[in-house]
Structure 1
């Protein structure tokens, strides 16, 4: 399969205002890529774009709520006009949601599905015709370690990420034999702050939710810049499947060995991170 040369070619990145999206943009800029940055955080996009432009990178910014299909279509048209040589799409946008099924409302779960899944599907669908014009192009979707194994206490998040995995794999099969390849990334333990800045069920005491989020965040060890380098390498090499982080590889192997009983091995390490019911202890 033809490897991508990103120098002088354009890449579109969602979730580019912070975290892995911003670091992925910087990693591509170091390779000479031109960039279309997509996020709902206009000020964050501007900050990242200004930093990249100071280094000589050509950047356009496209603030949008990815759950708004009409708005996504509009910014896709902007990107087509600004980046006719678009060669890759990397979808990093997403959020999290804490809570058990008893604590969560249908509205809360639908919101996360709109953000994590339908936003990914929408921008991919809109930009695919442009990517098809290139001699070689690649779509990279960020899934999660929780697209390999579904833990208790993370039902909506795992649902969305398993769905992103399914979308990526089915689309890869649809595009087989074309100039566009598709891959999914399964990161674990990246210090992006997504869990600390994500949402939690309104039924959960804020202190309890904060405690669970902090316990999950304490398990993250990889810096976003390191993860971004691996994301870019996977995109350039057009890989179909990339595990990032030691835990991701371990969970992948565990699920293969014990597809029904893997939770028994995962339960203890995640105990505090999934506890959204135990009241806070008074000091």
Structure 2
């Protein structure tokens, strides 16, 4: 299986306006790639695109809400026309949701599934025909450490990421023998602000939600630029499975050793991050 060379070929990246997606675009630009940047944040996309163009990269921007299937299909055609040499797709777009099952509404959980899973499926479906026409192409889906183990208090997020994992693996089997390969990347905590800027159940006191989010964010140690470099290397080397971060490797080993009882050792370090019920102490 040939390793990919980014120089002069195109990569499409979702969630490219911020965080891992933006840094993934920067890492590919340094390798000479042409870029199709996808995000719903028009202003954020424009800033990243201007930065990369100033450094000499060829960039197109494609603002879209990935929950809108018709709009995503149209964006797919737009990207294919602008980038006939499309070689890779990296799906970084996503959000988070705090709350227990008792606290969350069905609407809130469906919203996160639409963003994290169906948005990933939709853009992959839209761009797969173009990728099939490449002599060699790769799709990278960003999963999560929580696609390996499901903590309490993170039901919607873990559901979406396990589903992204399942989609990636099934698609990998579906395209086997073609010019397209598929892989998933499983990062541990990356300092993107996703947990601080994500959503929480409307029934949770905002102060309590903020405390839980801050406790989770304090456990994130990897810089987005470091995660992006690893994602790009995994993409160009066409890896099927990439664990990013010490915590991910530990959790992967733990789940293999204790597939039913892994939660016992995980619960203690996560106790503050998953506590969305204890009231704030009066001052």
| TM-score, length-scaled by structure 2 | 1.00
Partner SS, residue 16 of structure 1: coil
Partners of 1:137 and 1:282 lie apart in 2 by 56
Residue aligning to 2:154: 154
Residue aligning to 2:214: 214
Residue aligning to 1:132: 132
Q: Which residues of 2 match residues 229-248 of structure 1 at below 5 A? A: 229-248=229-248
Q: Which residues of 2 match residues 182-261 of structure 1 at below 5 A? A: 182-261=182-261
Task: After superposition, give the CA deviation of every residue in 1:107-146 in whole Å (9 maximum; x if it has no partner).
Answer: 0000000000000000000100000001100000000000
Residue aligning to 1:54: 54
Partners of 2:54 and 2:118 lie apart in 1 by 34
Paired positions, count: 283
Partner SS, residue 153 of structure 1: coil
Partners of 1:195 and 1:126 lie apart in 2 by 28
Partner SS, residue 12 of structure 2: strand
Q: Which residues of 2 match residues 1-283 of structure 1 at below 5 A? A: 1-283=1-283
Please, which runs of 5 or more residues in structure 2 have no aligned partner?
A: none
Partners of 1:43 and 1:280 lie apart in 2 by 36
Partners of 1:189 and 1:160 lie apart in 2 by 17
Partners of 2:263 and 2:104 lie apart in 1 by 21
Task: After superposition, give the CA deviation of every residue in 1:55-75 in whole Å (9 maximum; x if it has no partner).
Answer: 000000000000000010111
Cα displacement (A) at 1:19 = 0.3
Please, which runs of 5 or more residues in structure 1 have no aligned partner?
A: none
RMSD: 0.3
Partners of 1:106 and 1:201 lie apart in 2 by 10
Partner SS, residue 221 of structure 1: coil
Partners of 2:189 and 2:250 lie apart in 1 by 12
Cα displacement (A) at 1:189 = 1.3
